[in-house]
Amino acid sequence: MKPSVLDTARYLQMDRQNVWHPYTKQSALDAGSLPLITRGEGVYLYDSEGRRYLDAISSWWACNLGHGHPRIVEAIVRQARELQHSILGNLSHPRAVEAASMLVDLFPDERRVMFASDGSSAVEAALKISLQYWHNNGRALKTKFVALDFAYHGDTIGAVSVGYLPQFHKAFRPVLFPVFQAPSPCCGACAFHEAPGICLEECFDTMRLILREHAHELAAVIIEPMCQGAGGMRIHSAEYLRRLGALCAEKEVLLIADEIAVGFGRTGKMFAHEHAGILPDIVCVGKSLSAGYLPISAAIVRAGIANTFRDKPEDRTFYHGHTFAGNPIAAAAAVETMRVYAEDRIVERAAASGDVLRRELESLAGMPGVRNVRSLGMIGVVELLEGKDGSGSARAQRIREALFRKGILLRPLGSVVYVMPPLVTPVEVLREMVVRIGEAMRDTA
C-alpha cells in the first residue's frame, strides 16, 4: 500500500533524526529530502510518491536478478516458516549444506565454503585463512599481502588495509597493517591503450618484482579480477590476470580473487577469473549470491588449504566465524538464486546483453569532455576528463542529478559515470538508458 503524503513526511523527518546513511555526504542530506523507496519490481525501484527509477546500479551491484523475483521471495518465506536461524558452529542445517554444495559445484576442483555475512567479512576470512594456512605448514614468516593501488575490498580494518582508498579511508591509516602495493594495471584500461603489449609489461613489472624479492614473506595477493570497482571501475586485461595466476603459483603465494562485485555473471562469465582461465586459491563472493535480497557471503577455499586446519596432533582449528554465517533464510535465498541462474541461463543472457550495452555506449565516446568509454559484460563506464578544479567530478554529479530526474538511479565515482544494471534488464531498456545518459551529458557539457 502506498504511504500517504503525511506518512512520507513523517518517515523522512524520522530519517533525518535517526539514520546515519552510508557513503552519504551531510551536505546532500541538508540540501533536501531523500527519496523514500517503498517497493521494488523487476529492474525498477518505486518511491513513496509512486515515482519509478531504473536501478542502474543494481542497488550497489547486488540485485543481479532485479527486485521481487517471485521464486526467491517464496524461498525466503518458506524458509522463514521452518527455521529462522541456527549457528554453523558444531551444527548444520539443510540450506547451508545445499548452498555450499552448489557453490563448490561451480568450480572444477575440490573446495570448502566458509560462510560470512557481507563482503568485508568474506575478505577478512580469506586474509586470516591465508595467514593461518602458512602457519599450519610451518612457514609462519609468510604474513604479508600484496594488493593493487585503487583496490577496494570492504570497510573492515583488514579489508581496508588491502584496499586503501584515501578518499574513503584516510582517517584510519594509523591502524592499518602494511601491504605491498602494485600499480593498478594501466590505470585500469589496458584493453584501450595504444600499445597494450608494452603497457602490460610495464603494469606487471612491479608485481613481478615484489613476488620475486618477497615471496618468502608473502601470504597472498588479493585482486578484484578484471575490474576494480570502487577505485573507479578500472578494467584490466585477462592476460594480466593470467600472468598473475601463474606467478603466484610459481612463487608459492596464494591468490585471493575478490569476486564480490564482479562474480555471478556481471562480467559475462560466472566468475571474472574465468576470463583468464585460472583457479584462484580463495574466491570471495557476496552481494548477488542471494540476488541481493539478504546478507550472505562466502570464502570458497581450495580443499588442500582447508585440509590443513585440523586439530590433531596439533590444534590448527580456524577459530573464526560470524553469528549469522550461513543463516538459513539467507542461505535459502542463495540456493534459489543459483537455481535461477542455472535454469534461466542468466550468465549467457548477461553476456549477450553486455554486447548490446558495449555497442550502445560506443556512441558516447566522441562527446565533449569524455576521456574514454569502456565496458566489461554488464559494466558500462563513461569516464569524464577531470580538471584540476574537479570539473569532471562536478559534472558527473550534475549528470547523476539529471538522470535521477529522468528516473534513472546512478552513483558516479568521482569523474566516472558507470552503470551496473540488473543482468535481466531488457535490451530495449538498456538502449533507452544509454540514450538518456547521452542527453544528460549534452545538457551538462
Active site residues: 23, 152, 258, 287
Burial class (CB within 10 angstroms; exposed 0-12, middle 13-18, buried 19+) of 320 = middle
Q: Coil, strand or helix: which one is 291?
A: coil
**Residue 32: CB atoms within 10 Å:** 7
Residue that has been written with the C-alpha cell 531504473 in this structure = 54
Q: How far apart are CA 16 and CA 225, in angstroms?
A: 38
Bridge partner residues of 302 (DSSP): 111
Residue 234 and residue 184 in contact, taking contact as beta carbons nearer than 8 Å: yes
Q: How far apart are CA 339 and CA 432, in angstroms?
A: 30
Q: How far apart are CA 145 and CA 179, in angstroms?
A: 5
Residue 322 and residue 124 in contact, taking contact as beta carbons nearer than 8 Å: no
Long-range CB contacts (within 8 A, 24+) of 23-29? none
Q: Which residues contact 372 (CB under 8 A, 6 or more apart)?
A: 189, 192, 365, 383
CA angle 385, 390, 391 (to 5 degrees): 60
Sign of CA dihedral 48, 53, 57, 58: positive
Q: HEC profile for 189-257?
A: EHHHCCCHHHHHHHHHHHHHHHHHHHHHHEEEEEECCCEECCCCCEECCHHHHHHHHHHHHHHCCEEEE
Residue 85 and residue 324 in contact, taking contact as beta carbons nearer than 8 Å: yes
- What are the Cα distances from residue 348, in Å, to 60, 267, 268, 332, 357? 22, 11, 7, 24, 14
Based on C-alpha coordinates, what's the Rg of the chain? Answer: 22
Residue 287 and residue 261 in contact, taking contact as beta carbons nearer than 8 Å: yes
φ, ψ dihedrals at 52, nearest 5° = -110, 140
